């Protein structure tokens, strides 16, 4: 009971953050190289580290509050609505339906936050300039995650055998749809809020504390290595002025929006098929 209450409080905190900060745009302050088509490598590295910190806080924060805690609540709800037959059966993740453990819940939430959450935080910062401004941007991002990622990865993967155990399927569709959309909105809200409080990297004690969330990458060493490699590539590409100018152009922004629209339209039939399959499971 304590575990579920804690998860409920975390989800409510996430919703409150969406309501309060959902309209904030991501923006840097005190950036001496802003507007420079070819900033020094040190400035580029500093900006990249700043973006990584925002991605870590927004992604892992959303993963903890909504994807993790909310996902745990959703599992409990589906187990409770599945009936007596489902109780005691083993899920795809080798968990027992109806059995709630503190260790298992913490492990699920942390894993979800570190990997799924962090990935969604990084993706948001990559495509945010192609999304609508204000609260619509977070909503659009949540819908993109729902249509493109949820049916192919989780939590709305139609070939997940768990949907044949717990349910009903239509409840799973409604709950997980809401979770994915709210998760995307929370990523945008936390990114906007934290970006306004995060100064450029420096050795000041207060600044070092602001970047302390980067230590959360330590347990996810492969992710940290990938981010480091991407950072080196970003510094290298920043020396090519034509590339930088092209990426910052209005044409590139329009092209990005077109790509997002096309990918969404292409992914839509698969999404519809997945939710129909799940909705008819365990009716």
What is the total residue count of the chain? 283
pTM over 0.85: yes
Nearest to 26 by CA among 184, 155, 193: 193
pLDDT for the residue numbered 40: 78
pLDDT for the residue numbered 181: 96
pLDDT for the residue numbered 165: 72
pLDDT for the residue numbered 37: 58
Packing angle, helices 169-197 and 41-62, rounded to 10? 140
Residue 142 near residue 84, CB atoms below 8 Å: no
Q: How many helices (H) and strands (E) does the chain have?
A: 11, 0
Residue 238 near residue 41, CB atoms below 8 Å: yes
Q: Concatenated DSSP letters for 218-266?
A: TT-HHHHHHHHHHHHHHHHHTT-HHHHHHHTSHHHHHHHHHHHHHHHHH
Ordered per-residue pLDDT tens for the chain, 283 residues: 777 888 889 999 999 999 999 989 888 765 555 555 566 777 888 889 999 999 999 999 999 999 989 988 888 888 777 766 666 666 656 666 666 777 777 888 888 888 888 899 999 999 999 999 889 999 999 999 999 999 988 888 888 777 777 768 888 899 999 999 999 999 999 999 999 989 988 889 999 999 999 988 887 778 778 888 888 888 877 777 777 787 778 888 899 999 999 999 999 999 999 899 888 865 5
pLDDT for the residue numbered 166: 73
Distance CA 162, CA 281 (A): 10
């Amino acid at each position: 009971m304590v575990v579920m209450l804690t998860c409920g409080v975390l989800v409510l905190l996430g919703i409150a953050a969406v309501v309060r900060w959902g309209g904030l745009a991501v923006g840097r302050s005190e950036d001496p190289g802003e507007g420079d088509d070819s900033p020094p490598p040190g400035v580029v590295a500093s900006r990249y580290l700043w973006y990584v910190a925002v991605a870590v806080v927004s992604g892992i924060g959303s993963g903890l509050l909504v994807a993790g805690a909310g996902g745990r609540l959703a599992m409990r709800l589906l187990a409770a609505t599945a009936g007596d037959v489902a109780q005691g059966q083993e899920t795809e993740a080798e968990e027992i339906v109806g059995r709630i453990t503190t260790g298992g819940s913490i492990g699920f939430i942390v894993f979800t936050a570190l990997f799924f959450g962090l990935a969604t935080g990084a993706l948001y910062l990559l495509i945010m300039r192609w999304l609508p401004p204000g609260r619509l941007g977070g909503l659009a991002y949540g819908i993109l995650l729902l249509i493109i990622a949820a049916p192919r990865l989780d939590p709305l993967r139609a070939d997940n055998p768990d949907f044949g155990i717990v349910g009903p399927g239509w409840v799973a569709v409604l709950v997980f749809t809401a979770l994915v959309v709210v998760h995307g909105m929370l990523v945008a809200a936390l990114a906007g809020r934290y970006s306004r409080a995060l100064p450029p990297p420096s050795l000041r004690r207060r600044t070092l504390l602001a970047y302390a969330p980067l230590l959360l990458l330590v347990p996810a060493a492969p992710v940290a290595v990938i981010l480091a490699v991407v950072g080196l590539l970003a510094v290298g590409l920043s020396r090519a002025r034509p590339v930088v100018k092209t990426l910052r152009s209005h044409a590139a922004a329009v092209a990005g929006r077109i790509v997002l629209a096309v990918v969404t339209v292409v992914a839509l039939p698969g999404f519809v098929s997945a939710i129909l399959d799940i909705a008819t499971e365990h009716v």
